[in-house]
Amino acid sequence: MPTKFIDYKGELMGPQVIVIGAGQWGKNLVRTFRELDALAAVVESAPHLRVGLSNDYPAVPLFEDYKEAIENTDAKGVVIATPAPTHYEIASYALQAGKDVFVEKPITLSTADAQKLVELAEKLQRILMVGHLLLYQPAIRKIKELIEVGSIGSLKSLHQERMKLGRVRSVENVLWSFGVHDIAVFLYLTGQAPEHMVTSSQAIVQSDVEDDYYLHLTFTNGTVAHLHTSWLWPEMRRRLVVIGDQGMLLYDEEKQTVTLHQKGIHADLSNRDEGSEVVFEGAVQPLRLECQHFLECIDQRIKPLSDGANGLEVIRVLEQASAALSSSAPKGMSVE
């Protein structure tokens, strides 16, 4: 039976969740699950944030300690939006308490911890989902569909830009901060894990934290993917170009459009340009779709699109990139 979502005034029908962490991003999860009538409780350790939550959601139980909330709230799911270093501890506790878990990206800060969570969820037959938001963007699903039906021929390369004058972090570099979703999209669109990578970066604001990063991935079928992330950039750039041997796709993330370009190069090296058309345009909020998907996975016991294994592979790529930068080799190098 599918999950049922109804207005606040009606009777609660679907599974409920505890949201742990209601800060900068967690507050959006709190709001969205409340709109879906699926918010059982909220956990927040900061006193000033708890005051705001009690005012905004007076009927929702509020806890300071996540263990107390899990032990005293009848909810099937736990949503974790706390700082990344805490993800492993909280997620493992929730899984062992019999809860299905949605953990924001990155799933953990190491492949070893991510692997443990994946194995624990499998052992306990619990849902483990990672918040790779872009996978729930309808435009990305449309691009996947167009690739699979051959609209651009054989997939050859992916080119992603994600840059702006951003909020600089003092610990995680711009790839870990900005690039996690894009790596998840690369894995989704290619259906593979990369077998080779090349990295190049620069630390400008802080000597030990990279603010500009190039990541180049090669997959087993020969497809390549290029990602440029920066939080030291004069304008916002968020777009993905997908190149095939018969055409090209351009996804403008700000406009939420996907344009199909019937362009290429003929065998005699002359240009082919048969025009372009917008094949997708929409403004659906991916966060709502992502939250709905988690509730459906709980209710129907199905594997999430962004499951723990997907989160693990993303961390593996990030960890390999970090190893490349921390090695004694120059900052532009390859990793097999």
In the chain the domains, ranked by start, together with CATH numbers, are 17-132+287-305 (3.40.50.720), 135-285+317-335 (3.30.360.10)
> Strands 212-219, 224-230: parallel, antiparallel or unpaired by DSSP?
antiparallel
* Band (326; pLDDT cuts 50, 70, 90): low
pLDDT single digits (tens) 135-152:
999 999 999 999 999 999
For the chain, counts of helices (H) and of strands (E): 10, 15
* Band (99; pLDDT cuts 50, 70, 90): very high
For the chain, what is the mean pLDDT? 91
* Band (251; pLDDT cuts 50, 70, 90): very high
Given a cut of 50, whether residue 328 has pLDDT beyond it is no
Residue with tokens 């949605």: 102
Q: How many CB atoms lie within 10 A of CB 28?
A: 17
The tokens for 196 are: 């080779």
pLDDT single digits (tens) 218-247:
999 999 999 999 999 999 999 999 999 999
* Band (167; pLDDT cuts 50, 70, 90): confident
The whole-number average pLDDT for the span 174-179 is 92
- Is the torsion defined by CA of 296, 303, 77, 282 positive or negative? negative
CA dist 176 → 19, 184, 251 (Å): 23, 12, 22
- Determine the Cα–Cα distance for residues 156 and 236; give it in Å rounded to an integer: 26
The whole-number average pLDDT for the span 189-214 is 93
Question: Half-sphere exposure (CA, 13 Å, Cβ side) for 275?
Answer: 3
Task: Tell me the percentage of the chain whose pLDDT exceeds 70.
Answer: 93
Range in 244-248, 260-264, 312-316 the model is least confident about: 260-264
